Every structure is written in structure tokens, then in C-alpha cells.
């Protein structure tokens, strides 16, 4: 890991899915750089490859060609243990659907990513503080089924922050919310990004959301075009 290198850097990234008669080439040469503390919004219509791109940035998927680097290290040179460490400690993920464990309470869901390297009691304290930060201190012992859509996404944000990631990767984080809850969640994401001087990449088809996390990169024809 190189402290001088960009936090995330994609060079010439090509990503295909198997299909017949020929593979579906979704990403066709993506170049993208994100430094510590920066925002970026990846914007484009449904099906243009936004989730595919975020998954490559987040090491959840590997490109067919080109490189994805995190702090200067090519992710294809990382072994499984190193990839797991990077995902757990450098990256925070928020998806369109919260992916909380339904049988666990809010605080248990938030604590889980910290349990890999931290004792339960200190992690619990930090989890509660984060739930308070996202406005859910009173709901810490509720299960996801007892929370609204907006509240579940707030728990997902707290879970993504528990290991103090260098970058938050958010895939249509407001996509399943009503307008009011969507605005509240966007406000929260913008606030925590500033408070923590954390980088954030938001992937969305919603122009208003993208504008809050400018610069906006339009994903079109498998390539990114920065819009200033």
C-alpha cells in the first residue's frame, strides 16, 4: 500500500458478461481516479453498467482487462485474505436494498463488520454512537422488520461506517425510498462524508442525487465522461 497513490484508480477497465453469440461488454475502457476525501457521482440510466463499475471499484468483481488499484496496489495481485481485509477496512458499502440480517437487531447488524478485529463490547459502544449519529439511538434493539425503509438504510450507513472506511461506495442508496426519506438519506451521506473527510462514490440514475456528490461522471457506452 502506497500512501501517495490515489485511493482508487481504474485504468482501461473492461468488464464483460458471458452471453451468446458474443459476450456482453458492459465496461469498455474505464479510467477513473479518486483521492482521499473526494466525492464522485457515477450517473446513467438503468442497465448502463453502474453497478458493474461499482463492483469492480469495490473488488467484488474483477475486470477482464485493465487494472483496478487501491492505494496503488493492483487488486488482481491481492490474495483472498488481503481482499477481505481491504473490503472490511478500507471500503464501506451501501446498496439499494439494505442487506441487513433480518434476525439481528440494528446494533447487531452494525457491529458485525467490526467483530473481525475488535472485542464485542468496544464495538458495541461505537455501534451505538453511530446509530445515535444516524438518528436511530432509540431503535438500536429493533430488528430491520420493525423499521421503515429510510431507517433501514440509515442502519446500513452506520454498518458501512463502523470500520471507518476510507471510501463509502453507495449503489442507488435512495433507490427504494420515498422522496422525503431519499432526501434525508442524501443529507446524511453528505454530512458524514464531510465530518469524516471520507471519500464517497455514489452510483445513481437520479440526477438530483448525483449533483450533490459532484463531480458527475456520466456512464455512457461503457465509458465515463466527466461533466463539469
Q: Which residues contact ligand ADP by CB under 6 A? A: 17, 24, 26, 44, 46-52
Site string for Mg ion, 49-78 (x = CB under 5 A): -xx---------------------------
* Rounded Cα gap, residues 59 and 136, in angstroms: 30
Return d(Cα 198, Cα 210) in angstroms, integer.
Answer: 17
Query: How many Å separate Cα 128 from the centre of its chain?
Result: 21
Closer to Mg ion by CB, 50 or 126: give it.
50
Which x/- pattern, by CB under 5 A, does the window 8-47 give for Mg ion? ----------------------------------------
- Beta bridge mates, 61: none
CA 50 centroid distance within chain: 12
Q: How far apart are CA 29 and CA 3, in angstroms?
A: 26
Report the nearest approach of ligand ADP to the CB of residue 44 (Å): 6
Nearest Cα residue to 170 out of 209, 196, 138, 132: 209
State the nearest-atom distance from the C-beta of 171 to ligand ADP, in Å: 7
Kindly state the smallest distance separating residue 1's Cβ from Mg ion, in Å. Answer: 29
* Partner from Mg ion, ligand ADP, none binding residue 221, C-beta < 5-8 Å depending on class: none
Q: Write the DSSP symbol of residue 76.
A: G
- Chain residues binding Mg ion by CB under 5 A are 50-51
Amino acid at each position: 500500500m502506497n500512501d501517495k497513490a490515489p485511493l482508487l484508480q481504474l485504468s482501461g477497465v473492461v468488464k464483460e458478461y458471458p452471453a451468446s453469440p458474443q459476450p456482453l461488454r458492459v465496461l469498455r475502457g474505464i479510467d477513473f481516479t479518486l483521492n482521499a476525501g473526494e466525492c464522485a457521482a457515477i450517473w446513467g440510466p438503468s442497465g448502463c453498467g453502474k453497478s458493474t463499475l461499482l463492483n469492480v471499484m469495490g473488488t467484488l468483481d474483477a475486470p477482464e482487462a485493465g487494472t483496478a488499484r487501491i492505494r496503488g496496489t493492483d487488486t488482481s495481485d491481492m490474495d483472498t485474505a488481503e481482499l477481505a481485509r481491504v473490503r472490511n477496512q478500507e471500503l464501506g458499502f451501501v446498496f439499494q436494498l439494505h442487506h441487513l440480517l433480518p434476525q439481528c437487531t440494528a446494533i447487531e447488524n452494525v457491529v458485525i463488520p467490526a467483530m473481525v478485529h475488535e472485542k464485542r463490547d468496544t464495538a458495541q459502544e461505537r455501534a451505538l454512537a453511530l446509530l445515535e449519529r444516524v438518528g436511530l439511538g432509540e431503535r438500536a434493539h429493533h430488528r430491520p422488520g420493525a423499521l421503515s425503509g429510510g431507517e433501514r438504510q440509515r442502519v446500513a450507513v452506520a454498518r458501512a461506517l463502523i470500520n471507518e472506511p476510507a471510501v463509502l461506495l453507495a449503489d442507488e442508496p435512495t433507490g427504494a425510498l420515498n422522496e422525503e426519506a431519499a432526501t434525508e438519506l442524501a443529507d446524511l451521506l453528505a454530512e458524514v462524508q464531510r465530518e469524516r473527510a471520507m471519500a464517497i462514490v455514489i452510483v445513481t440514475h437520479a440526477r438530483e442525487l448525483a449533483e450533490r456528490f459532484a463531480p458527475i461522471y456520466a456512464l455512457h457506452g461503457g465509458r465515463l465522461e466527466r461533466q463539469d
